[in-house]
Amino acid sequence: MSSYEIFVIVFIMALVMVLGGSVIGLLLSPKSENAQKGEQYESGIPTRGTSWMQFKVGYYLIAILFLMFDVEAVLLFPWAVIMKGLGAEGLYAVSFFLVVLILGLAYAWRKGALEWK
C-alpha cells in the first residue's frame, strides 16, 4: 500500500484487539464478589490514604531536561537529512548550536540537576 491510510487501519486494529480480547475475557472468566476484592493490592496491608498525591520533584527535573534535548533533536533532524548538501558551512552553524546545548547540559550537571537525591 502506498498511502497513509495504514495508520487509521492500525489504530482501528488496536481497538479491535483490545475490545475483542476484553469481551472474550469477560465472557470466559468467572466472577465472584468479596468485600476485600476491589481494594488496592499493596502487599496485603490496608492502604493508607490515596495515591493521587504530590510526588518526588526529581522526575520533573528529568522531564524538563528531556524536553530541552528532545526539541533539539527535532531541530537537528532536518539538518541531518540535508547535511551532505550544506557541507562544511552547515556543520559550523550546527556545531555552534550544539555547543550552546552542551553548555546547558554542563550547567545542569554543575548545578547538580543530574544527581539523584
Candidate list 29, 46, 111, 112; residue touching other proteins; CB under 8 A: 29
Closest distance of CB 33 from other proteins, Å: 9
Amino acid present at 56: K
**Kind plus residue range of the DSSP H or E element containing 35:** none
Residues 8-27 that bind other proteins (CB under 8 A): 9-18, 21-22, 24-26
71 binds other proteins (CB under 8 A): no
Candidate list 54, 57, 110, 116; residue touching other proteins; CB under 8 A: 116
